[in-house]
Structure 1
């Protein structure tokens, strides 16, 4: 075969291979960023020391004041994005709904194979944020908080565990899986520090106690 035709044939094969690969990436599971790692315990202790201590105020709270889930990319909203990020071998349909995969919940150590068994937890709950200063925010800032993929604020966990947590802070609730408690409280302090939220006295005392053992 003449060299010129051989080179053309190799070029065509390379192009076809690239096309097939790109189609496969579109139709198959896609890689996504990992859950953000919270700050170190030392940094969390420093952050905690600087947070304002204040009583909580629930007056006027409504979950609807924190718009979520918003569109992140294409047809994928925040919940769907976190499901893909935190899951293993997650496959989605054209609407970005997860049709298969598995999800490990670090709060309780359970693994689920149905997305319907998984909630996306706001680590610092929306009501807790409202009580701690978000009542004075603009809607735009509350939207950013409720859909924050940059800080360790959103995480896929067992649905009934998330529901049991509700709007509690670490003074009354931390994950039952002890190996994750340090990560949880470090993330809690990081989120509160970033958004300039206050802590109440019982919450601060609990956080200090947990962080002392991290």
Structure 2
């Protein structure tokens, strides 16, 4: 299991975190930025205008089950929050590495969710936040661990223990 291979270490309280340290919503192809690609990928019946903006569609927030009928109601969440990444190793990365992390479409790092659930989550880790939908806890924990593993990020003992607790409930 990837959880057992993640290094457990105290959080690095390096000053200097800012979202601007993680350039995001970059162009992925054509005129489509990361946000628009995730909206297209995670939505149903999504149509885009000539600038690749989601013009219509619907989205179901995996965190809270909220149905959303406009892209303006959808946030794109980083499963491992940017500030959490900063505290667990990304402060030592180059800007290019943080850019890749913030725009990763391959490793379960970005997901379309309701604005309310994303803002409730903020920069919290699985010890301090879980999706409202109990049925999504195991998927969220697996994605969180996968991203931490992919990027060689650490976690604190309390988060490790919280994830073990989540996995004890998974079928």
TM-score bracket relative to the smaller structure? over 0.9
Match of residue 55 from structure 1: 10
Match of residue 19 from structure 1: none
Match of residue 108 from structure 2: 152
What displacement does 1:212 show? 2.1
Match of residue 109 from structure 1: 65
Query: Given the alignment, which residue of 121, 125, 148 partners 1:165?
Result: 121
Query: Given the alignment, which residue of 121, 140, 150 partners 2:77?
Result: 121
Normalized per residue, the structure richer in helix is: 1
CA deviation map 1:102-136 (0-9, x unaligned): 00101000111110000000000000000000000
What displacement does 1:211 show? 1.3
Matches within 5 A, 1:65-84: 65-84=21-40
Structure 1: distance between partners of 2:126 and 2:65? 19
RMSD after superposition: 0.8
SS in 2 for 1:148: coil
- Contiguous gaps of at least 5 residues in structure 2: none
CA deviation map 1:63-122 (0-9, x unaligned): 101001100010100000000000000011111111110001010001111100000000
Query: Given the alignment, which residue of 136, 140, 156 partners 2:96?
Result: 140
Query: Given the alignment, which residue of 122, 141, 153 partners 1:197?
Result: 153
- Contiguous gaps of at least 5 residues in structure 1: 1-45
1:90 aligns with 2:90: no
Match of residue 165 from structure 2: 209
Structure 2: distance between partners of 1:51 and 1:84? 32
Structure 2: distance between partners of 1:176 and 1:117? 18
SS in 1 for 2:56: strand
Structure 1: distance between partners of 2:95 and 2:80? 17
